[in-house]
Amino acid sequence: MKNLFSTTFIMLIAIVLLNGCSASKTAKNTSSALGLTNQVSKNLGLTKDQTDAGIGAMMMLSKDKLSADDFSKLTKDIPGASGLMNKAEDLGVIPGSISTTADILKVLNKLGISPATAAKFIPAVLGAAKTLGGGAFGLLSKVF
């Protein structure tokens, strides 16, 4: 049963990545984490807390996977990134518990996000990161 569930998640992510995230291409350009959160929340119909925790979990994984220099650049391109990691902790994400994309999907599910919407989350964040300018998209793409 776990294998079927994992396979379903992987297939959903692959479909979303292959189809792209066209909704985020039209998102308004912004240069803050709040704007990133608002774009993703609006595109996926999520609460601010759900989105903050999900992006915070992505930042936690990015911190572990990127060099210190690259992570520093990422936090400059996404102002408030450390605040998002703190928000994720406040909502129950344990630092060090996020080591894969699947862990982020688990966090999203625990926050009440359906598997179908959770599968769209990372592509939506990546799409919104393109609108930030700077290197946020490229740096996040190294991890995701």
pLDDT in tens, 2-36: 554 444 545 444 444 444 443 333 233 334 567 88
**How many helices and strands in the chain, by DSSP H and E?**
9, 0
Which is nearest to 84 in space by CA: 110, 104, 112? Answer: 104
CA–centroid distance for 136 within its chain: 12
Helices (H), 45-79: 48-65, 68-77
Burial of 2 (0-12, 13-18, 19+ CB in 10 A): exposed
Q: Which two tokens stand for residue 91?
A: 């909502």
Give the mean model confidence (pLDDT) for residues 116-128: 96
Q: What is the mean pLDDT of residues 107-121?
A: 96
Fold classification of 2-143 (topology level): Globin-like (1.10.490)
Domain coordinates in residue numbering, the chain: 2-143
